[in-house]
Amino acid sequence: MSVNLLPQGDSTLALAGRVAEQLPLLPILRRHLEEMATYVEKHVAEVCRDFGEIAHLATMNVDAGEAAVEGSGNEQREVEKLIATAETMLERIGDRNQRSTRLAADVLSRLENTRKEIDHLKVVMAEVGQIALGTRLLGVNSRIEAAHIGEHGRAFATVADEMAQLSGQTQRVAGRIERIVLDVSGEVDSITEEMASVSGEMIDSDGIEMVLAGMREAHRDMESSLRLSSQRGRQLVARIHSAVIGLQFQDRLTQRMQHVCSALEGMEQALSTGGAAFNGGRLLDCYSMPEERAVHHARGSLAPEPVPTGAGEAELF
């Protein structure tokens, strides 16, 4: 492609003078472009390196999270085992509790019956005391009657004495039995009180079961949080990866800047040494990337050519 640089109404000499004035600017422009390309490459490389380190750290984080989830899975199984064991033990304790409660109720019921029997015994003992008293009175009266009838009543007086002695013995025995009954009654009262107290202190297995269920739920929540964190970490790594790959624009930018620099160099040589005329088509030929070539062909500056292989495409020989 040739370029017509001659404006209307201007002399060639004047134009050549103006071009000669501008010539020193070309190497400066070229140097600026080269510096710019180097600058962009340096900084994109740094960003790329930083992204790489971030992705590495994120990957380590994901690995740690996954290891924790895996570990948590083992712990979960251990916790489940422990809870199952605790539940079995609780079930046994519950059975024992029920048996103990029933036994305590049975003992309390028997103690109540015993107390009633003791009360009945007290009534009987009172009756025995009354009988002993009646026997004593009978003996006293018999002795009086025996004295009334004189010598004939002597044998009867002997019987009356025996009756009095028997009455005394009966009263003494009744007294001892009453004391024993009182002691037994006191013991029964004490045992009844203690049994009632013990049956009220049975283990609260329902409360322990609730605590175990809470532990299981808390552990599952923790595992779920770890999984979510790991999943988000993986998404982060994927996003970083995508961002890093997106920085490939720099390679294209640098390449195009280099092409422009080469073209500037060629232009400078053509203008200063009077060499071959500057050919803009050479610059367009430098667009080696498929998309860039397609754009320039579409503009009609170059002859159509077969559709090039697209970016990222691979071909094996």
Partner 1 sequence: MAKRILIVDDSATMRQMVSFTLTQAGFDVVEGVDGVDGLARAGQHTIHLVLTDLNMPRMSGIELIQSLRATPAYRYTPILMLTTESQTSKKLEGKAAGATGWIVKPFHPQKLLETIAKVLP
Amino acid at 105: A
Half-sphere exposure of 208 (CA within 13 A, CB side): 15
- CA 79, 80, 82, 86 dihedral sign is positive
Q: What is the CA radius of gyration of the chain?
A: 59
Query: What's phi and psi for 63, nearest 5 deg?
Result: -60, -45
Q: Residue 302: CB partners within 8 Å, gap ≥ 6?
A: 281, 284, 293, 296
> Which of residues 134 and 246 has its CB atom nearest to partner 1 in the complex?
246
Q: Hey, which residues between 242 and 261 contact partner 1 (CB under 8 A)? A: 244-245, 247-252, 254-255
> Which of residues 49 and 92 has its CB atom nearest to partner 1 in the complex?
49
Nearest-approach distance from CB 217 to partner 1, in angstroms? 37
Torsion, Cα 147 149 153 154, to 10 degrees, reads 50
> Which of residues 109 and 248 has its CB atom nearest to partner 1 in the complex?
248
Any idea how long the chain is? Answer: 317
Q: Hey, which residues between 178 and 237 contact partner 1 (CB under 8 A)? A: 237
Using the contact rule CB under 8 A, the part of the chain among 70-78, 181-189, 201-209, 282-290 near partner 1 is 282-290
Nearest-approach distance from CB 65 to partner 1, in angstroms? 17
Residue in the structure block whose two tokens are 């009356």 = 160
Q: Hey, which residues between 25 and 54 contact partner 1 (CB under 8 A)? A: 41-42, 44-45, 48-49, 51-52
Could you say which of 57, 59, 202, 302 contacts partner 1 (CB under 8 A)?
Answer: 59
> Do residues 97 and 203 lie in contact, with contact meaning Cβ atoms separated by under 8 Å?
yes
Nearest-approach distance from CB 67 to partner 1, in angstroms? 18
Q: Number of residues in contact with partner 1, rule: CB under 8 A?
A: 37
Using the contact rule CB under 8 A, the part of the chain among 109-117, 133-141, 205-213, 309-317 near partner 1 is 309-317
Torsion, Cα 88 93 99 100, to 10 degrees, reads 180
Integer CA distances (angstroms), 45 to 3, 50, 179, in order: 38, 9, 107
Q: Does position 61 bind partner 1 by CB under 8 A?
A: no
Q: Residue 216: CB partners within 8 Å, gap ≥ 6?
A: 79, 80, 83
Could you say which of 266, 289, 297, 302 contacts partner 1 (CB under 8 A)?
Answer: 289
Q: Does position 312 bind partner 1 by CB under 8 A?
A: yes
Nearest-approach distance from CB 235 to partner 1, in angstroms? 14
> Which of residues 7 and 306 has its CB atom nearest to partner 1 in the complex?
306
Q: Using CA atoms, how far apart are residues 312 and 9, in angstroms rounded to an integer? A: 52
> Which of residues 55 and 69 has its CB atom nearest to partner 1 in the complex?
55
Where on the chain is the footprint of partner 1 (CB under 8 A)?
41-42, 44-45, 48-49, 51-52, 55, 59, 237, 241, 244-245, 247-252, 254-255, 288-290, 293, 306, 308-317
